[in-house]
Structure formats: structure tokens, C-alpha cells
Structure 1
């Protein structure tokens, strides 16, 4: 990649790009990740650095990160006090990168190929504020994950106000203005890319094929993916609450004619329907309505509790590398 390619905007002198990589039990593949990042980033006409956020790993990931920092000043490390989740690791990395001209988020398992980065930068140079990626194919996705992914995006596209294309990923470039806006968001239950897509800004997409994991096991098993899907849906949509009301109306519309039919049959057709049958049908339907409504409301009440508690989004146990700002131990307080 050269700055004088046709159709390209010349890079800003002294512009900086920061890579943010969440890390959770990835010690086996970090060396390969570093080598591929360096090989790609050393060919771009920008100053760059890489922030590796250790999200409470239980293996030797932090020791590997410290070795990177000692060998190359362009690498920096953040270690959480425990596992706060990928969404918070991305948030911490972006907040630590404030002041850079752009940030690029990618996974540590090499399913987000660093070789795609020049394409992201090229679109950024064209004037886009957000350059996101879409997976065309995933080499090692199970049938359960494929079905779950399709279902999740179907619901998110139809029942929220997000512009969230199917198979979009966290592998994306964010301009400085997007980073600064993102730092103002305070919710604890968050979907990182959902918030970014909600912002708007000038955005484009690049498609890529995700290879199989280089090493280790997936950091996001089905259970975590399911919990993320539920939190994401309830964070951006009021449809579940409305569905409870719609369900109540539907059940009432079905129950009332049924009960009327039972009464008329008992009176005029000698159907001999017992009182306990009336009570059972009516009571069962009422219990179903109440349980459904309470279940949906509890999801939103849980989100309200999380926000009212006003806890830090994450807690930093340690840092590695040269940081311009003094180290902090927690996320900035939320208003």
C-alpha cells in the first residue's frame, strides 16, 4: 500500500492508528498474531501501536503480552482484575486509545485476518468514519452457531432500530470522532458493535472469509453467545415488552370465544362441561399471561438495576508499556 495510489486520499502527516485486541486464554496463538500484525502494519504510512487487553485470562496470556511490550514499544498491555467480557475489553481498549486518529478492533484468534487492515484503512482514507466487516463464511462454525446467528440477526434487523447487517463483526475501524462519542456511553449491559451501529456516522462494509481458529478453544461458547444475544436484544428493542401485551390480547381473543362456546354448549347442547374444566382452562391461560409478562419485564428490570448500581464498567489490575496518561484502576465514573 502506498500513499500515492490512484483514488486514494494522502495520509495525514503524523496520523496514528491503534489496534485493540481483546485477549482471553490465547497464549498459544499470540505470537502468530503479533508477527502478522507487525508484517501488515509496518507497510502502512502511519504511526501505529497495539493495545492487548487481557480479559482475566487463566493461562499465560499476560506473560506473553509483557514479553511483547518488552521487545517492542509499539505494543501495550492492559490486564483486567477478572473476566469482564469481550464487550468491556473492547471498550477499555478504545478508551485507552483516545487521542489516536483511528482505532481498529480485531480478535486475537486470527479469525479476523490482519491482512484485511489495509482495506479498512483505504476506506477510511476515502472519508468513511466507520469501516466494518461482514463474514461471508466461517471455517469452523457449528450448525448450532449458524442457526443461532441467523436467528439473532433476523430478530435484530426486524425488531430494533439498528442497521445491523447479518454476519457483521467487531472487526472494524473507527475514526477519532466515533471513538470520542463512544466514550460517552455509560450502559453496563452493552453490545459493542450495536452501540456503534446505533450512532450512525458515515459507514461502509468490507466482506471477508473467516478462517478457522489458529489455536485453542473458542472464548465465546454457545452459552455466552446466547447471553450476549439476549442482552443485545433487550438493550435495543422494546418488542419483548410489547409482545407480552400482544400475547395477552391474543390469549384473551382465543379464551373469550372458547369460554363462551363452553357456556353455550353446556346450556343448550347438554355438553355437560364441569365447572373444574372452566376453571382449569381460564386459570391456566391467566397464569401463562402473567408468567410471560413477568419474564419479559424482569429482563428490563435487570438492565435498570445494572445501570442504577453505577459500577465501573471494568477494573484494571495492571498495565504494561509506555502510557502517556497516568495509570488508572477503573473505568471513568458514570454520571
Structure 2
């Protein structure tokens, strides 16, 4: 009996690369006769012809399926939607649609998995699409995460990774809405193996993950996996109080013993400046965490599936407007909708 492997690909305005990606994946699995495979595209609110291409591929190849989200929910939620729809697969592989995650490496990932790894992580050695600012920002992010959080995230780790079925089932128990997908997987632990690769140039288009989105992801990751920013604010407050006390003591001593005159407003300004700095820093960090709490308490669905194609469409056709949570399968959504 063949082993079933699922591949989840988030898509955002990648119409020009989807057919080439499908062809390369098919070529790779022709060299792996012991495996059945399924390719799931998750269209994350693309404004181009991406969904039309996905539907065409699903009609042409029964191993291709698609989910069309109702809007752009972001890559993290697109990956979540994809993994929630994977039933019966022994392992799930995540990769980008722009071919910067080379399909030729799939056999290496599978080999590491067959040798006992529960999670196989793609480590990017080089990426010519990254500007100097992005490279420096990436190094700074991994430096901070390694020292401030309790999560061991491999430097230059990517979403190009394979996870075992057991990891998928565990992943389905996570419900937070402000998430870093790879961070959650790394937090779980399990046996991990690394595969290094050099990212080639994009086959078409321009990068869709802007610097602003990367900064937002970094901030969300730091505040989701670490209380260090709050602790830092506390330490900063203690430090500023110490400096303020020392400065005020110096001003009082020089005023009393050395006849150095300070106006009353000088004392007020020194004290006020430091206290306002402490308060603003503390409020800023607390606001980030309260924002996360608000997002979780509101309890909106993680994503909304507008329609599906291929295996996920089933006999009833489209799933327009179905709300699918992280642990709900498409079949469950269909049964509940027709109950």
C-alpha cells in the first residue's frame, strides 16, 4: 500500500507559477513510486487569476484540490486552512507557490521523515530576493527570538517544512488567532531534522510579503512566544527610577554643599521626563498584549472558506460561506451545513 503525502501551498497572486509548480511536483513524484500525493492550493484572496488556474488544474488532475478563502487572511491563516483540510495523509509538506522552495528537495524531506524525524525544516542558506534591510532584520529577529523566548527556532528557518501526521493532529489543538505558523510547530518540540537549501529566483512576479508584513509578523511572534518584552519594560522602569534617584540626589547634594543652584522647574523636568518615559514604555508593551487578548476573546473564525474544488468540493459542489475552524475538516463543514 502506498504512503499518502499531502502538499499545502498558500497562494496570493501567483497565477503565473501554479502550473509550473504542479508540473514540477508531478515530475518529482514520478521518481517516488511508493507514494500517493495530493496538492492542495489555498487561495488567500488573490486579485489575479489564481483561483481560475487552481480550478483548471483540479479538473485536469484529480490529485489537485483547492480552497478559496473569502478574502486575504494572511499566509499564516492560509497554512492553517490547508492543514485543517488534510485527512488521511501520513505527512504534510508546506511550500511556497513561487518555486523558491524547490520541489526537487521533496525526496530529501521524505528521506529525513522516513529516518524518524517528526518535523523536517528547510533552512534557507541564501536568497537573492532579500534586500540588505530584510537580511539584517531577519538576523535581528532570530537573535532576539533565540534569547527572549522559550522557543528554539532554527536561524533562517522557513515555512518549507514537512510534519508527521502526529504533529498535524497536535497542531489542530492550537486555536490562537495571532500566530506564527512555524513558531507554533517549533514550540511543539518533537524530533526535528534540518535540510539546507539555496532559494532560487522567483519564477514570476514580485515578492508579496512586504517589509511591513514582516515587521508585523516579527512583533506578533515576539509577543506571542515571550514575556521578555514585559519583563524588559519592568527592568527599564527600575533602571530609570535608579538613574532618576541618583540624578536628583546629585542635584540636592550639589545644591546644599556646593551652592550649585537649580531652579524648581529643573527638578520637576528631570523627574517628569523619566517617569513619562517609563509610563509610555509600559503602556506600549501592555497594549500589545491586551491586543492579543482582545483578538482571542472576540473568537472570530480563523478563516472563511468561500468555495472549494477537487476532492474538497465533494458531491455537493462549492462550500460558499462555510466557516471552517482549525480542527474542522471540509467534510465536517459540509455535513453541518446540510444537517
User: How far apart are 1:324 and its partner, in Å?
Assistant: 8.2
CA distance in 1 between counterparts of 2:193 and 2:293 reads 33
Equivalent in the alignment of 1:39? 27
CA distance in 1 between counterparts of 2:145 and 2:224 reads 11
CA distance in 1 between counterparts of 2:60 and 2:232 reads 56
Return the match for 1:48 from 8, 26, 37: 37
Deviations 1:281-309 (CA, angstroms, capped at 9, x unpaired) = 10011000000000000110000001101
Equivalent in the alignment of 1:75? 64
CA distance in 2 between counterparts of 1:333 and 1:139 reads 34
Q: Structure 1 stretches (4+) deviating beyond 4 angstroms?
A: 324-328
SS state of the match for residue 99, structure 2?
coil
Deviations 1:183-209 (CA, angstroms, capped at 9, x unpaired) = 110000000010001111111101000
Return the match for 1:139 from 117, 122, 128: 128
Aligned residues: 322
CA distance in 1 between counterparts of 2:111 and 2:78 reads 26
SS state of the match for residue 323, structure 1?
helix
User: How far apart are 1:99 and its partner, in Å?
Assistant: 2.2
Equivalent in the alignment of 2:162? 173
Equivalent in the alignment of 1:108? 97
- Unaligned stretches of 5+ residues in structure 1: 1-12
RMSD over aligned CA atoms reads 1.4
CA distance in 2 between counterparts of 1:179 and 1:42 reads 26
| 8 A Cα contact 2:124 2:197, kept in partner | yes
User: How far apart are 1:269 and its partner, in Å?
Assistant: 1.3
SS state of the match for residue 41, structure 1?
helix
Report the TM-score when normalising by structure 1: 0.94
CA distance in 2 between counterparts of 1:258 and 1:235 reads 37
Return the match for 2:86 from 80, 97, 113: 97
- Quickly say closer, same or farther: Cα 1:307–1:61, change in 2 above 3 A: same
Give runs of aligned pairs for residues 1-335 of structure 1, distance below 5 A.
Answer: 13-44=1-32, 45-323=34-312, 327=319, 329-332=322-325
SS state of the match for residue 322, structure 1?
helix
CA distance in 2 between counterparts of 1:268 and 1:127 reads 74
| 8 A Cα contact 1:98 1:176, kept in partner | no
CA distance in 2 between counterparts of 1:110 and 1:30 reads 9
| 8 A Cα contact 1:98 1:179, kept in partner | no
- Quickly say closer, same or farther: Cα 1:333–1:127, change in 2 above 3 A: closer
User: How far apart are 1:331 and its partner, in Å?
Assistant: 2.3
